[in-house]
């Protein structure tokens, strides 16, 4: 297992290096400059200022300087927030994004699995129909529409929760609900389909024949086996929530990281583009690694050490 | 004989105070016990460094927490700031500012040396200040900014603690507006040195000398507060205890917060404006920004073809565009220089220089001129491309212009909408037939627009060239710079030439429709730079 982990971490770093390199050169193809009032500066004035930032050097030199900095933990300073180190910009804004993402995952996935399982157990009854309708709604209503509806009714009309802003648990409720809808629906749908399959399989028949209780069969044999495909989608779902919360962050005025990423691309804020890309890549790769490890825990057949033998 | 122009600010403000007092108490609304204004920005506060501020968010904050030599207020009127009075030498090149005794928020005195330090810091190449060009008329600016001379040779000197003497390389009547802008604020050398690279990256890493001081800003958060600065020299006139800022990026969220009374103002977008324009809360804030069509005259079809340029301009119904398509409070321009930017007495520059044909709509004439234009170019039909930003307004503009120009026989118009950066690059490279550009004035003088279209100006992307125009601008900046009347006439004649020759076709002047709660009073708005001054604002009782 340790050997496997080491190998995976090595590949992770290699992938990261490739991501940094490709992003750096692609980013330099963007037209324009990071100057905020570039439309008011003549080319000569722009050159003078860009020279101060070392942006008139050849791109390969800039690349080497950047990579050298990253190895020393220096991600540069932002252009949008002048003189603000990018590492500080990200660390001070990633908290709300992570918190919302985590809450939304828990609120989405746990009830999603339960509802999906319930639908499968009570297949073709009113319970199944109701849960299916709910999960289809969850998939078809875009999160930003749900966000606006929640904001209007629960915030503006009923005064149950704050309309927007950030500053305590109450402020996280509406954005979490809006974000949780899609992972909830996805996991519910997947769990139901898998569970229906599993419940029809021979070994469930056998377990029942052995005289196990109904819920014992469901918990020990059916649910556990249905979770493997569900775990597969949870990884990408988690990353989707972290990176895709930009619209939700905008609607609820949350001081998160999603919006900074888009804005940094639009304003050619090179150090921020790079740093956020690195953060997102690491998040995705770590989630995928965790998913692989969790597979082994759920299903002994795909335990990693066994495979390497 | 030395001519001295002294503005006796003390007398004026004294008189206006008396006038206010005599108005009686009956008309003055009762003050609310909570003097907090809840303000909104749509972008984060990027810096509080006066040398590095380029955007309206930091500009607005700096204008209220710091104070330069003069202050700009309602209707772009100047009032005294740190300078009690100032004198301009007869040749217009030496400006002497007499400073009052005032303090920074840490208790140290604000002196002439703070101005000298702040100004030198802004023009030093190492600072890489993007607004350093505003210093263009200060003696030795070019050499200092290019690193050829030391910052100490910049034309600004402290004479004792309370007199600042500025030497200009040539007269600049509007220098008085520049010294009221962020790039000319004083900076406290000890504080800048103390925090080094961290200077002004958080509320507690700077000092303030204005009506308010900044608190609750860690450098990247979405909320911050301006608190009344009790050490400010005119603190007794500041009624607000605090201005609480919040960043809101979604227009719908902003509207909900305004309706629920959580925030006191709302800048409406086009859709909201259509629903709210008859509300008593609505105020349309004229902005000194213009969107216009530039014709590529470097070579090709539009070069020396005034009929073509006029035909296109005459075929665009701007009234219909601003009222029916944009419908956001923007309006039909009178010329290239925005209305409300500059005044002489009671005459607005845009009225004085109005050329009807420059922005009029007349399809019959447009078609006749277009026919002539095609003959001149020796073609029976032509395909042209129109370039614009891919913003909502940019797309509306190109779609509308395309529908209008469809009525010119023999013209096939294709359109391209690109991101802002791409539009700028292509404009600079001359890679367009027609492009929709935009400009906003830095200071309330016509020259901040008029200087754009001289033959060699880098922003004259279409390279429209006209000798009479160049001469008029040269005179305004040169031999007539110190004679306000002749200078005004120069600028008016230049603007008329630009419009008569249709060097550019103005499309719309933008406005900012604002909903403001009826209990907010005394806000000062001006159409350039920082835009807002809260120092005289107050909240009336609204329970």
Q: What is the pLDDT of residues B245-260, one digit of tens each?
A: 999 989 999 999 999 9
- By CB atoms closer than 10 A (0-12, 13-18, 19+), residue B229 is buried
Q: Supply the mean pLDDT for chain A.
A: 87
Per-residue model confidence (pLDDT) at position B529: 87
Q: Residue A264: list chain B partners with CB under 8 A.
A: none
Please judge whether B47 and A81 are an interchain contact, meaning their C-beta atoms are less than 8 angstroms apart: yes
Tokens of B467: 């000798």
Per-residue model confidence (pLDDT) at position B516: 97
Q: Which domain holds residue A179?
A: 92-302
Residue range B411-461, pLDDT digits in tens? 999 999 998 888 888 998 899 999 999 999 989 999 999 999 999 888 899
Residue B435 to residue A127: CA distance in whole angstroms: 60
Overall average pLDDT of the B350-373 stretch: 96
The 10 Å Cβ neighbour count of residue A127 is: 14
Name the residue facing A83 among B47, B422, B425 (closest C-beta).
B47
How far away is chain A from the Cα of B169, in angstroms, using its nearest Cα? 19
Q: Is some CB atom of chain A closer than 8 A to the CB atom of B429?
A: no
Q: Domain B286-511 - what CATH class? A: alpha beta
Name every residue whose Cβ is closer than 8 Å to that of residue A202 and which is 6 or more positions away in sequence: none
Overall average pLDDT of the B165-180 stretch: 96
- By CB atoms closer than 10 A (0-12, 13-18, 19+), residue A2 is exposed
Q: Is residue A43 part of a domain?
A: no
Angle between helices A258-266 and A86-121 (to 10 degrees): 130
Q: Is residue A32 part of a domain?
A: no
Residue range A153-175, pLDDT digits in tens? 999 999 999 998 888 899 999 99
Please judge whether B219 and A92 are an interchain contact, meaning their C-beta atoms are less than 8 angstroms apart: yes
pLDDT at B107 over 60: yes
pLDDT at A127 over 80: yes
Of B522, B540, B539, the residue nearest B73 (C-alpha): B522
Residue A21 to residue A91: CA distance in whole angstroms: 23
Of B405, B407, B364, the residue nearest B385 (C-alpha): B405
More confident residue, B19 or B499: B499
Residue B402 to residue B416: CA distance in whole angstroms: 11
Classified as helix, coil or strand, B503 is coil
Q: What is the 8-class DSSP label of residue B23?
A: T
Residue B402 to residue B415: CA distance in whole angstroms: 8
Per-residue model confidence (pLDDT) at position A43: 80
Per-residue model confidence (pLDDT) at position B13: 39
Q: Give the percent of chain B with pLDDT over 70.
A: 95
Residue B532 to residue B530: CA distance in whole angstroms: 6
pTM: 0.86
Q: Residue B422: list chain A partners with CB under 8 A.
A: 31-32
* Least confident range of A228-237, B100-109, B181-190, B301-310: A228-237
pLDDT band at B313 (very low <50, low <70, confident <90, very high): very high
How far away is chain A from the Cα of B476, in angstroms, using its nearest Cα? 21
Classified as helix, coil or strand, B86 is strand
Q: Is residue A130 part of a domain?
A: yes
Write the DSSP assignment of B290-311 as a string of letters: EEEEEE--SSSTTTT-HHHHHH
Q: Supply the mean pLDDT for chain B.
A: 92
- CATH number given to B18-247+517-539: 3.40.190.10
φ/ψ of residue B178, rounded to 5: -65, -40
Overall average pLDDT of the B263-279 stretch: 92
pLDDT band at B191 (very low <50, low <70, confident <90, very high): very high
Per-residue model confidence (pLDDT) at position B2: 41
Q: Residue B136: list chain A partners with CB under 8 A.
A: none
Domain ranges of chain B: 18-247+517-539, 286-511
Per-residue model confidence (pLDDT) at position A115: 93
Q: Is residue A272 part of a domain?
A: yes
Q: Residue A41: list chain B partners with CB under 8 A.
A: 130, 133
Per-residue model confidence (pLDDT) at position B1: 38
Residue range B6-49, pLDDT digits in tens? 444 433 333 343 344 444 444 567 899 999 999 999 989 999 99
Task: Indicate the length of chain B as a whole number.
Answer: 543
Phi-psi region of A65 (alpha: psi -120 to 50; beta: other; left: phi over 0): alpha
How far away is chain A from the Cα of B447, in angstroms, using its nearest Cα? 14
In DSSP terms, which residues pair with B212 in a beta bridge? B228
* B395, B401 contact by CB (below 8 A): no
- By CB atoms closer than 10 A (0-12, 13-18, 19+), residue A6 is exposed
Q: Residue A42: list chain B partners with CB under 8 A.
A: 458-459
Among A40, A91, A144, A264, the residue to mutate for chain B (most B Cβ within 10 A): A40
Q: Give the percent of chain B with pLDDT over 90.
A: 83
- In whole angstroms, how far apart are CA A36 and each of B48, B440, B456? 15, 14, 23
Please judge whether A83 and B52 are an interchain contact, meaning their C-beta atoms are less than 8 angstroms apart: yes
In DSSP terms, which residues pair with B516 in a beta bridge? B265
Q: Is residue A16 part of a domain?
A: no
Q: How far apart are the first and last CA of chain A?
A: 11
How far away is chain A from the Cα of B125, in angstroms, using its nearest Cα? 8
ipTM of the prediction greater than 0.85, yes or no: no
Per-residue model confidence (pLDDT) at position B27: 59
Total tally of structural domains belonging to chain A:
1
pLDDT at B121 over 70: yes
Among A163, A247, A262, the residue to mutate for chain B (most B Cβ within 10 A): A163
Per-residue model confidence (pLDDT) at position A192: 93
Q: Is residue A21 part of a domain?
A: no
Q: Residue A33: list chain B partners with CB under 8 A.
A: 421
- In whole angstroms, how far apart are CA A72 and each of A9, A13, A66, A278? 19, 15, 10, 15
Overall average pLDDT of the B157-178 stretch: 96
How far away is chain B from the Cα of A96, in angstroms, using its nearest Cα? 11
What is the CATH classification number for the domain harbouring A216? 1.10.3720.10
Residue A77 to residue A64: CA distance in whole angstroms: 17
Of B141, B179, B182, B186, the residue nearest B161 (C-alpha): B186
Q: Is residue A53 part of a domain?
A: no
Q: Residue B130: list chain A partners with CB under 8 A.
A: 35-37, 40-41, 49
Please judge whether B248 and A164 are an interchain contact, meaning their C-beta atoms are less than 8 angstroms apart: yes
State which residue of chain B sits closest to A33, comparing Cα positions. Answer: B421
Q: What is the 8-class DSSP label of residue B278?
A: T
* Least confident range of A255-259, B379-383, B390-394: A255-259
pLDDT at B290 over 80: yes
Q: Residue A36: list chain B partners with CB under 8 A.
A: 46, 54-55, 130
pLDDT at B466 over 80: yes
- In whole angstroms, how far apart are CA B514 and each of B376, B410, B519? 48, 43, 14
pLDDT at A40 over 90: no
pLDDT band at B57 (very low <50, low <70, confident <90, very high): very high
Classified as helix, coil or strand, B440 is strand
Name every residue whose Cβ is closer than 8 Å to that of residue B456 and which is 6 or more positions away in sequence: none
* B81, B62 contact by CB (below 8 A): no
* A19, A277 contact by CB (below 8 A): yes
Give the pairing type, strands B382-389 and B265-267: unpaired
Of B21, B184, B20, B177, the residue nearest B117 (C-alpha): B184
Q: Is residue A283 part of a domain?
A: yes
Angle between helices A86-121 and A126-140 (to 10 degrees): 160
Please judge whether A253 and B247 are an interchain contact, meaning their C-beta atoms are less than 8 angstroms apart: yes
* Least confident range of A21-35, B32-46, B497-511: A21-35
Per-residue model confidence (pLDDT) at position A234: 84
User: The sheet that has B83-88: what strands, in order across it?
Assistant: B83-88, B94-99, B163-167, B156-158
- B 226-255 residues with CB < 8 A to A: 246-250, 252-253
Please judge whether B201 and A31 are an interchain contact, meaning their C-beta atoms are less than 8 angstroms apart: no
Residue B497 to residue B413: CA distance in whole angstroms: 27
Among A30, A31, A97, A272, the residue to mutate for chain B (most B Cβ within 10 A): A31
Of A247, A33, A260, A78, the residue nearest B43 (C-alpha): A260
How far away is chain B from the Cα of A225, in angstroms, using its nearest Cα? 44
* B338, B289 contact by CB (below 8 A): yes
Q: Is some CB atom of chain A closer than 8 A to the CB atom of B44?
A: yes
Please judge whether B222 and A155 are an interchain contact, meaning their C-beta atoms are less than 8 angstroms apart: no
């Amino acid at each position: 297992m340790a050997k496997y982990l080491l190998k995976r971490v090595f590949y992770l770093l290699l992938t990261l290096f490739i991501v940094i390199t490709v992003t750096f050169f692609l980013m330099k193809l963007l037209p324009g400059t990071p100057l905020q009032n570039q439309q008011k500066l003549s080319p000569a004035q722009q050159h003078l200022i860009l020279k101060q930032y070392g942006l008139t050097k050849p791109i390969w030199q800039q690349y080497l300087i950047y990579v050298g900095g990253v190895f020393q933990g220096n991600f540069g300073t932002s252009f949008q927030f002048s003189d603000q180190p990018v590492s500080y910009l990200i660390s001070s804004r990633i908290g709300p994004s992570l918190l919302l993402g985590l809450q939304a995952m828990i609120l989405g996935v746990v009830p999603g699995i339960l509802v999906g399982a319930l639908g499968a157990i009570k297949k073709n009854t009113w319970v199944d129909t109701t849960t299916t309708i709910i999960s289809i709604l969850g998939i078809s209503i875009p999160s930003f529409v749900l966000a606006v509806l929640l904001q209007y009714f629960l915030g503006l009309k009923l005064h149950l929760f704050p309309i927007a802003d950030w500053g305590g648990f109450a402020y996280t409720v509406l954005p979490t609900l809006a974000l949780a809808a899609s992972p909830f629906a996805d996991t519910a749908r997947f769990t139901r389909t898998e569970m229906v399959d599993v419940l029809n399989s021979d070994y469930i028949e056998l377990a029942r024949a052995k005289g196990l209780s109904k819920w014992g069969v469901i918990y020990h044999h059916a649910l556990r086996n249905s979770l493997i495909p569900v775990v597969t989608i949870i990884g990408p779902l988690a990353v989707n929530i972290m990176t895709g919360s930009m619209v939700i962050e905008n609607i609820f005025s949350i001081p998160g990281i999603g919006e900074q990423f888009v804005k940094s691309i639009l304003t050619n804020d090179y150090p921020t583009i790079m740093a956020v890309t690195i953060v997102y890549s690491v998040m995705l790769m770590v989630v995928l690694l965790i998913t692989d490890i969790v597979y082994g825990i759920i299903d002994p057949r795909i335990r990693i050490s066994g495979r390497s033998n | 004989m030395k001519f001295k122009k002294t503005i006796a600010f003390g007398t004026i403000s004294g008189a206006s105070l008396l006038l206010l007092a005599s108005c009686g108490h009956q008309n003055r609304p009762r003050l609310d016990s909570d003097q907090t204004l809840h303000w909104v920005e749509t972008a984060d506060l990027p810096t509080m460094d006066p040398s590095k501020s380029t955007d309206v968010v930091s500009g607005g904050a700096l204008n209220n927490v710091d104070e330069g030599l003069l202050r700009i207020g309602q209707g772009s009127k100047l009032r005294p700031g740190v300078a009690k009075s100032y004198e301009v030498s007869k040749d217009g090149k030496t400006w002497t500012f007499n400073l009052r005794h005032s303090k920074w928020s840490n208790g140290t005195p604000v002196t002439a040396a703070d101005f000298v330090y702040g100004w030198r810091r802004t023009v030093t190449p190492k600072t890489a200040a993007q607004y350093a060009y505003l210093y263009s008329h200060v003696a030795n600016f070019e050499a200092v900014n290019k690193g050829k001379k030391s910052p100490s040779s910049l034309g600004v000197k402290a004479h004792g603690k309370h007199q600042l003497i500025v030497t200009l390389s040539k007269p600049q009547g509007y220098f008085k507006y520049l010294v009221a802008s962020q790039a000319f604020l004083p900076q406290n050398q000890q504080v800048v040195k103390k925090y080094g690279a961290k200077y002004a990256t958080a509320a507690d890493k700077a000092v303030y000398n204005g009506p308010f001081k900044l608190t609750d800003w860690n450098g990247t958060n979405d909320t911050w507060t301006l608190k009344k600065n009790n050490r400010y020299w005119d603190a007794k006139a500041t009624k607000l205890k605090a201005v609480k800022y919040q960043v809101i990026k979604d227009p719908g969220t902003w509207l909900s917060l305004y309706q629920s009374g959580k925030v006191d103002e709302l800048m409406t977008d086009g859709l909201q404006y259509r629903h709210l324009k008859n509300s008593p809360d609505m105020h349309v804030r004229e902005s000194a920004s213009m969107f216009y069509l530039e014709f590529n005259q470097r070579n090709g079809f539009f070069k020396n073809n005034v009929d073509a340029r006029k035909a296109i301009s005459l075929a665009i119904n701007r009234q219909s565009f601003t009222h029916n398509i944009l419908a956001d409070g923007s309006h039909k321009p009178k010329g290239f220089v925005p209305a409300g930017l500059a005044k002489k007495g009671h005459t607005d520059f845009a009225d004085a220089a109005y050329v009807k044909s420059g922005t009029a709509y007349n399809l019959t004439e447009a078609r006749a001129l277009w026919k002539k234009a095609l003959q001149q170019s020796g073609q029976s039909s032509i395909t042209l491309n129109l370039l614009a930003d891919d913003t909502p307004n940019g797309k509306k503009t190109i779609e509308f212009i395309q529908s209008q120009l469809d009525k010119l026989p023999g013209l096939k118009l294709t359109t391209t909408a690109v991101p802002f950066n791409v539009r700028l690059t292509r404009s600079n490279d001359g890679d367009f037939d027609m492009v929709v550009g935009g400009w906003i004035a830095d200071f309330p003088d016509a020259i901040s627009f008029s200087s754009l279209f001289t033959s060699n100006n880098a922003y004259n992307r279409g390279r429209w060239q006209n000798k009479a125009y160049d001469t008029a601008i040269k005179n305004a900046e040169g031999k007539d710079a110190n004679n306000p009347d002749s200078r005004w006439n120069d600028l008016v004649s230049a603007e008329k030439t630009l419009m008569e020759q249709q060097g550019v076709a103005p499309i719309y002047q933008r406005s900012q429709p604002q909903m403001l709660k009826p209990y907010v009073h005394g806000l000062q708005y001006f159409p350039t730079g920082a835009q807002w001054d809260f120092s005289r604002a107050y909240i009336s009782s609204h329970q």
